Chain A
Amino acid sequence: MKVHEIIDRLSLEVKTVQGDIDRAVTGCYIGDLLSDVMANAKEGEIWITHQTHPNIVAVAVLKNLSGIILANRRKPEEGTLKKAEEERMMVASAPLSAFQAGGMLYQMLRC
């Protein structure tokens, strides 16, 4: 499954222009504590979070995640968007709670 399919199916509002939407998504991680995400998220997972701080891009890049979904219609901070564009990391806003987005992704992604 690719990032752009998830964008369509979840009706995500993509905030980045340069963010790579062609990446393969291998799973999903949900977390707001960046220390936890650093420790537990896996390469290729798409990340659902409430954090909008620029560090989310650094973490996503470091862990080679496939994209960032902000739950509850949260928007990335200006600094976050700037970093995301530089790193070509897709950041989108979801008109869904983390539970809803996670639930849908779970159905879509489990093999």
Chain B
Amino acid sequence: MKGLHLIAVTDHNSVENVEAARRAARGTGLTVFPGMEITSSEEVHILGIFEHMENAALMQELVYENLPQEENDERLYGHQVVVNEHDEVVGFNKRLLITATRLSASMLVDAIQSLNGLSIASHIDRESFSVLSQLAFIPESLRFDALEMSPLIERNEAEETFGELKRFPWVSFSDAHFVRDIGKRFTTFTLKELTFSEIRKAFRGIDGRDIGWH
């Protein structure tokens, strides 16, 4: 409806709703990549985007193993629903997904990369849960594939404020938590075809593949 060709579903600390989204997208011309927004032990939000459900599921296993034991308090945090492709609730995730994992940012980036995923530092312009708010700067050892700017900042503002972080490619997405926000911000990729490996080439600026966010 919004004219998007590609989306990633990146719930907090879980991929249980991705498969339903992928099934619902079949035959529509929309590609859905599985992913997760993971909270590191330092409370940095990091996006992991994967090519295959299997890799995303392995990442989920690692994340689940490293969440605290407490269960979700539905009165406080709401229901963590698991839905099917008809948008029907099929279950509830009992884990406390809103909290930080015991995995450090560098462990997360390593794990995502070892699963052939793309690691993106979430909303670095925001004052909370960003790699910059939590760690003040991005150390050399933390090799994100890209940095994400939130929909709250325009390109020119970002250039002024984060100019010294141009060594990373920049992306910007809607971070939609509600359906109405999908497509509010998007990034354009110049690719030969819409595949994960082409996306990876675009992140690396290889062979004319490119990322555009204006």
| Given known A51-B42, A53-B42, A55-B137, contact A35–B132 (CB-CB < 8 A) | yes
B179 within 8 A of A: no
A59 to B128, CA, bound (A): 18
Instruction: Write the nearest CB–CB distance from B112 to chain A, whole angstroms.
Output: 18
0/1 interface trace, chain A 62-73, chain B, CB 8 Å (1 if under)? 000000000000
B118 within 8 A of A: no
Please give the number of chain A residues whose Cβ is less than 8 angstroms from any Cβ of chain B in the complex: 15
- Across-interface contacts of A36 in B (CB, < 8 A): 133
Please give the number of chain B residues whose Cβ is less than 8 angstroms from any Cβ of chain A in the complex: 13
A79 to B42, CA, bound (A): 15
Contact (Cβ within 8 A) B104 A34: no
A sample of 24 cross-chain residue pairs with beta-carbon separation below 8 angstroms, ordered by A number, consists of A32-B134, A33-B128, A33-B134, A34-B134, A34-B135, A35-B127, A35-B132, A35-B133, A35-B134, A36-B133, A38-B136, A53-B104, A53-B135, A54-B139, A55-B135, A55-B136, A55-B137, A55-B139, A58-B136, A58-B137, A58-B139, A59-B136, A77-B104, A79-B141
Instruction: Write the nearest CB–CB distance from B73 to chain A, whole angstroms.
Output: 22
0/1 interface trace, chain A 25-58, chain B, CB 8 Å (1 if under)? 0000000111111100000000000010111001
